Amino acid sequence: MSRHPSLLAEVDRLVDKAAALAKVPPDLLEQIRQCNSVYRMSFPVRRDDGTIQTVQAWRAEHSQHKTPTKGGIRYAEMVTEEEVMALAALMTYKCAVVDVPFGGAKGGVRIDPRRHSVGELQRITRRYAFELCRKGFIGPGVDVPAPDYGTGEREMAWIADTYAAVSSDKLDAMACVTGKPVSQGGIRGRKDATGRGVFFGIREACSNVEDMKWCGLSPGLSGKRVVVQGLGNVGFHAARILRDAGAVIVGLSEREGTLCDPRGLDPEAVARFRAETGSLAGFVGAEAMPSDGWLDIDCDILVPAAIENVITEDNVARVKARVIAEGANGPTTAAAHEALLARKVMVLPDVYLNAGGVTVSYFEWLKNLSHVRFGRVQKRYERHVHQRMLKGVATATGAKFGDADIEAMSSGPDEEDLVRSGLEETMIRAYHEIRDAVSRVPGDHDLRTAAMLIAIEKVARCYEELGIFP
């Protein structure tokens, strides 16, 4: 087995490849490549048994070309400073690709959340948030965290509450973090946003006749066989929405094993079983395979939606899919990516496909700053406008609409409708911008380099327009 480069080395390699094609001065490229700020901290936390645990944590702000910076907080036993820096860099490029006006950031806390009680997790989270407040690494206009691997709505609510308690900014305090519960200033549609963004990106690629012809598939999503690796927030919602749209989920995988059924799996049934038993083992009606068995399943679309560096030069030959849809950050190494392109396997890159979460986080941030729920102002007005239009059509044509028909056709959008519409528009627009840039990239159908090229040029343009590099 070869020793794989670190995620930071992989990101630098991607940047170098795209930068060679960008019309950007070398000194500016060096600034774009660098991580602007890293805060490393250690703090004590008392455990339930009375012992003291020293926790190591980080927050990296990769680029302040736009503020605030934005990025999730990861709770993982193996998290490192270098990994946090790499993920912060990916966030910069991700935000640029989908035109979300943030710089990139990321946080990491070196713990295994499964080995801590709720009380311990709360103490760790609040202390981490306090450390960020103390050093000015959090705030609605400074740096806005979000959930990531090992964290969720609960932790974001604790962070928001801690920030509100110690900050003098009481009016906009809830905008200091996104991914909160709706009752605590969150936004409807945020929980499934990343998975839904994965779906929109896959659907758009599958609707492109030229793309499907290149990788040997017929256009359309219906009937496509899909394998999803990772049943966390991203993987579960991506699998569920893809299934509802007509795809067949032939494989689902987690750390303890893989399930395979060519007839199709129900992601919700599998997730319920795992929640009840703690494992995929014993699920009736599907073939049980090893934890890496997802690589060997014959499918059209493979969605790695867990952690980085899972498709490498050592196992890429096992991949049967014609499309790799990167729901996770950095799941495919650079060497594996080149091997896939050589086989005409289309790779939908993480820097694009994983951007649904930060897109809807942007909407949540706007909601918190405006202090108005999306849809509250226009929902009833639009409903009345639509009803008047229907009545006009009925009068002019003699058509008859029942009350149920009028209600269905005239209903105005609520917050979740608007969030999903905005996310869909973002993912579709970004995909076509990447496709337009492919022609500038040597080789064949390299969407990853095209996306990175777009991102680098957007960040560079921002620096130049600010006059930092005249």
Task: Show the domains of the chain with their CATH numbers.
Answer: 38-184 (3.40.50.10860), 193-356 (3.40.50.720)
Tell whether the model's pLDDT for residue 222 goes beyond 70: yes
pLDDT for the residue numbered 4: 65
Instruction: Specify whether the CB–CB gap between 375 and 417 falls below 8 A.
Output: yes
What does pLDDT average to over the chain? 91
Instruction: Specify whether the CB–CB gap between 10 and 310 falls below 8 A.
Output: no
> What pLDDT, in 10s, does the model give residues 399-425?
777 777 667 666 667 889 899 999 999
Sequence-ordered list of residues with C-beta below 8 angstroms from that of 276, at least 6 positions apart, any chain: none
Phi, psi angle pair for 76, to nearest 5°: -155, 145
pLDDT for the residue numbered 2: 45
Q: What is the average pLDDT across 328-354? A: 93
Tell whether the model's pLDDT for residue 94 goes beyond 70: yes
Handedness of CA 219, 222, 224, 226 (dihedral sign): positive
Q: What is the average pLDDT across 353-382? A: 87
pLDDT for the residue numbered 386: 67
pLDDT for the residue numbered 236: 95
More confident residue, 411 or 435: 435
pLDDT for the residue numbered 373: 84
Instruction: Specify whether the CB–CB gap between 92 and 68 falls below 8 A.
Output: no
> What pLDDT, in 10s, does the model give residues 225-236?
999 999 998 999
Tell whether the model's pLDDT for residue 88 goes beyond 90: yes
DSSP 338-385: HHHHHTT-EEE-HHHHTTHHHHHHHHHHHHHHHT--TTTTTHHHHHHH
Q: Which of 70, 106, 180, 224 is catalytic?
A: 106
CA distance 324 to 382: 40
Q: What is the average pLDDT across 5-22? A: 87
Beta bridge partners of 104: 70
What percent of the chain shows pLDDT beyond 70?
95
Q: What is the average pLDDT across 426-437? A: 96
pLDDT for the residue numbered 205: 96
Catalytic residue check, 23: no
> What pLDDT, in 10s, does the model give residues 143-169?
999 999 899 999 999 999 999 999 988
Instruction: Specify whether the CB–CB gap between 231 and 252 falls below 8 A.
Output: yes
pLDDT for the residue numbered 1: 39
Distances (CA, A) of 360 to 60, 163, 209, 237: 21, 21, 29, 15
User: Confidence class of residue 384 from pLDDT cuts 50, 70 and 90?
Assistant: low
